[in-house]
A and B are shown apart, each in its own frame.
Chain A
Amino acid sequence: MADIRVDNLNLWYGDFQALIDVGAHFPEREITAMIGPSGCGKSTLLRVFNRMNDFVEGVRVSGQVIIDGQDIISDKPDLVKLRKNVGMVFQRPNPFPLSIYENIVFGQKVHTEGLSRSELDEIVEDSLSSVLLWDELKDKLRRSALSLSLEQKQRLCIARLIAVKPEILLMDEPCSTLDPQATGRIEELMRELKNNYTIIIVTHNMQQAARVSDNTGFMLLGELVEFGKTRDIFKGPKDKRTEDYITGRYG
């Protein structure tokens, strides 16, 4: 099951507690948006799910995060397997300084030795098609990925991720560098992708959360204040703090 169950999750950077007793269930093949002011811990939470916080010095985690029946906090998961299964899209589109083709096959080449040319070609076509870039780019696969527009780059990064066949996509403010039209098209893509993937998106943009997500979590100062169906949260938040934030009264 490609869902994520979080229980009693605490995380410290040195003495600073960035996540306080977080508990939530991120359902399979739905989009869950995490909202909240800067520094509330939503990106940190996202980075727990693929253990990217491991690279931060002095980080400590306690609690349970169950993915695929395995507790990824205490069970010492195989990080390569975990990260193949739980992929991440970053805030800034960050293709490698390689060709479009090489960008997409990078993950597969690293994971599987000796793939044939036609197998790789197929992966490239499938991945680019699923982010709706194939028709645009099929004749330019040898061009540098850095020559693409920002939106194309971000799509390419999603395609690069899909090429390693994950089940869960973590998106850390994937549209923050894009203009409104491009943002709209990426949101369109996310709705498309949720048929096959569990998506968790961190966003500053409340309209985006309201438009695109099935579930929403509101975080404040490391706590998960409220978590539920998006329409419930935006129509009638139970917590005063959530209401203040989504109505724009939060400082």
Chain B
Amino acid sequence: MSNTQRSQKIAFFFLFLATLLILVPVGLIVVVIVQKGLPAINWQFLSDIPRQGMRAGGIFPAIIGTFYLVFGAILFALPIGLLAAIYLSEYAGNNPLNRIIKLAIVNLAGVPSVVYGLFGLALFVVFLRFGASILSGSLTLGIMILPIIITTAREALESVPQSFREVSLSLGASKWQTIRHIVLPNAIPGILTGTILGLGRAAGETAPILFTVAAFYLPRLPKSIFDQVMALPYHLYVISTQVPNVEEKIRYGTALVLLSLVLFMNLVAIIIRYNFRKRKKW
């Protein structure tokens, strides 16, 4: 075996090993959660309120709460994020100030979520007097996922070939018409990827909702966006650490529901994205 072939094999081995190292823990987590959580899953668990100090009954209010919060966060973050991304990629020039802004947005994605929680508490709950409510929680989660959405949407817009823009403009289309008819449709798959990432993050984070919306125990459904709700991640934290003697299967069952909810929402976005990709190719 020649030297190049050997180094090729060694490289393959390590690349494969790295992939395996990522896949195995993820796979294990999923297997453990499904194995331990599945026995808890039944219709009552999904549709009932928590009973006996959250040691029995279901988690329905938390499912609904998380659904509202994620929906609200996307409703707020997607339009604003998309507009910001369009501005940054299509209109803002390439000057130092704009480069700093872009860098700052990328870095915001790495800010610990508890900081967003504190910010949401100060701005929405206290200053704007929204109180601990779905509105405050959704806005806080929305702000948290804005950097993800802006950054991925901007990259999606910038990856649309420059030649498409040139042709469109050379045919007499205005800049906005070019963006609207040519650039945006071709960037939608990438924008949806960002939305998927944001969705998953919004559904799973505990810290931002801790101060802004999440209720420890609230066995009824919210009546308006100014109500508090229970949410799955926080509920999971509560029954795992704050309430003694909760059956293991209820804890893992809650985790399984959270995981499935995120997967389900992602799946919807992935299907939409797939359909767009199938239609537009270059």
Interface residues of chain A, those whose CB is within 8 Å of chain B, are: 50, 52, 55, 57, 79-84, 87-88, 90, 92, 94, 96-98, 106-107, 109-111, 144, 146, 157, 160-161, 164
Which A residues are in CB contact (< 8 Å) with B163? 90, 92, 94
Contacts A90-B163, A110-B181 given; indicate if A146 touches B281 (C-beta within 8 A).
yes
Interface segment among B98-106, B112-120, B167-175, B235-243: the answer is B167-175
Cβ–Cβ contact A107 & B171, under 8 A: yes
Cβ–Cβ contact B171 & A52, under 8 A: no
Greatest chain B CB density within 10 A among A82, A96, A111 is at A96
Q: Shortest Cβ distance from A93 into chain B, in angstroms?
A: 10
Contacts A90-B167, A97-B281 given; indicate if A111 touches B172 (C-beta within 8 A).
yes
Tell me, in angstroms, the Cα distance from A178 to B167 when the chains sit together.
19
The reply to whether the CB of B35 lies closer than 8 angstroms to some CB of chain A is no
Cβ–Cβ contact B166 & A52, under 8 A: yes
Which A residues are in CB contact (< 8 Å) with B281? 97, 144, 146
- B140-167 interface code vs A (CB 8 A; 1 in, 0 out): 0000000000000000000001011011
The reply to whether the CB of B282 lies closer than 8 angstroms to some CB of chain A is yes
> Please, which residue of chain B has its CB at the minimum distance from the CB of A110?
B173
Contacts A97-B282, A144-B281 given; indicate if A80 touches B164 (C-beta within 8 A).
no
Partner of A90, one of B93, B166, B280: B166
Which B residues are in CB contact (< 8 Å) with A144? 281
Additional A-B contact list (6), CB under 8 Å, known A111-B172, A144-B281, A164-B171: A52-B170, A84-B172, A92-B163, A110-B172, A146-B281, A146-B282
Cβ–Cβ contact A94 & B186, under 8 A: no
Q: Shortest Cβ distance from A123 into chain B, in angstroms?
A: 13
Partner of A96, one of B169, B172, B177, B182: B182
Cβ–Cβ contact B171 & A161, under 8 A: yes
Tell me, in angstroms, the Cα distance from A10 to B37 when the chains sit together.
75
Cβ–Cβ contact A81 & B280, under 8 A: no
Which B residues are in CB contact (< 8 Å) with A57? 93-94
> Please, which residue of chain A has its CB at the minimum distance from the CB of B171?
A107
Which B residues are in CB contact (< 8 Å) with A160? 171
Ranked nearest first, the 5 interchain pairs of A and B with the lowest CB-CB distance are A84-B172, A83-B172, A107-B171, A88-B170, A97-B282
- List 27 A–B pairs whose Cβ atoms lie within 8 Å, in order of A's numbering: A55-B169, A57-B93, A57-B94, A79-B172, A80-B172, A82-B172, A84-B172, A90-B163, A90-B166, A94-B161, A94-B163, A94-B166, A94-B167, A96-B168, A97-B280, A97-B281, A97-B282, A106-B168, A107-B172, A110-B173, A110-B177, A110-B181, A144-B281, A146-B281, A157-B167, A160-B171, A164-B171
Q: Shortest Cβ distance from A229 into chain B, in angstroms?
A: 29
Tell me, in angstroms, the Cα distance from A94 to B167 when the chains sit together.
8
Q: Which of B225-282 contact A (CB under 8 A)?
A: 280-282
Greatest chain A CB density within 10 A among B93, B167, B168 is at B167
Q: Shortest Cβ distance from A66 into chain B, in angstroms?
A: 20
Tell me, in angstroms, the Cα distance from A80 to B173 when the chains sit together.
7
Which B residues are in CB contact (< 8 Å) with A107? 171-173
Cβ–Cβ contact A106 & B282, under 8 A: no
Partner of A83, one of B161, B164, B169, B280: B169
Contacts A94-B164, A146-B282 given; indicate if A50 touches B181 (C-beta within 8 A).
no
